[in-house]
Amino acid sequence: MSYTQTRHAPRAGGGHRTSRSLRPARVFMRMLLAFAVLVALGVVIVSRIEHVSGNQGLPLSDAGVIREQAAEKHLDPALIAGVIYAETKFDPRTSSAGALGLMQILPSTAEYIAHLSGGSTFTTGDLATPKINVAYGSYYLRYLLDHYEGNEMLAVAAYNGGLANVDAWVAKAREAGKALRVSEIPFPETQAYVQKVMRAQAEYRVVYPRQLGL
């Protein structure tokens, strides 16, 4: 009787070892499941943050168009987004002055841009299309940046206040032996516009780096 018990004892012990050997696998599966849940929660939280950011005053749409035009025109995509924010907050509409689309381009300005870029098929209705509107606005921004040797503040001021006006302000500042500063822009609307674009540019870089390809 004792012999039989002795022979069967290892079996019982072996059974317990098999049970214990399953525990690490179960623990691993639980850890894997917990990790998957955390990842899912992270995605939800990030999406929620982006959604809330948009609702709190920093909207973004047509990010693919912005990235494409920024790459093509060698512009900071956050600068394009900042201009759009200042112009329309990504809600394209026609202004009282007749400016159209996301970047609020006047038909006369668009015709000038078409002339500069060698375009020959421009129609006013094209400005309602985000891709075309952003392409025209980005081209004009690049033109203004080149004109002011890469000075974003002056380019943005000219986008709002007009090239001739900014040229006159810059010339006057140079006569006084200094560079034009934002605080010295004589048009209150343009001064506020430049500050708004610069602030939005910085915020878009922080809130939407992935969407803007930064």
Tokens 């599966």, residue located: 29
What confidence tens digit (pLDDT) does each residue in 3-23 have?
A: 334 333 333 334 444 445 445
pLDDT at 9: 35
Q: Are both 191 and 123 inside the same structural domain?
A: yes
Residue 34 domain flag: yes
Q: Are both 108 and 190 inside the same structural domain?
A: yes
Residue 212 domain flag: no
What confidence tens digit (pLDDT) does each residue in 165-183 have?
A: 999 999 999 999 999 999 9
Active site residues: 87
pLDDT at 115: 82
Listed in order, strand segments (DSSP E) in 30-179 are none
- The DSSP call for residue 100 is B
Q: What span, in angstroms and rounded, lies between the C-alpha atoms of 175 and 93?
A: 40
Q: Are both 13 and 109 inside the same structural domain?
A: no
Q: What does the pLDDT average to over 35-57?
A: 46
Q: What span, in angstroms and rounded, lies between the C-alpha atoms of 195 and 160?
A: 12
Cβ neighbours for 181, distance < 8 A, ≥ 6 positions apart: 173
What confidence tens digit (pLDDT) does each residue in 183-208 have?
A: 999 999 999 999 999 999 999 999 99
Q: Are both 104 and 6 inside the same structural domain?
A: no
Q: Are both 174 and 117 inside the same structural domain?
A: yes
Q: Which CATH number characterizes residue 192's domain?
A: 1.10.530.10
Task: Please say whether the dihedral angle defined by the alpha carbons of residues 33, 39, 42 and 48, taken in this order, is positive or negative.
Answer: negative
- Minimum mean pLDDT among 96-100, 200-204, 210-214: which range? 96-100
The structural domain count of the chain equals 2
Q: Are both 28 and 87 inside the same structural domain?
A: no
What is the domain range of residue 67? 63-207
Residue at which a domain ends, from 56, 80, 103? 56
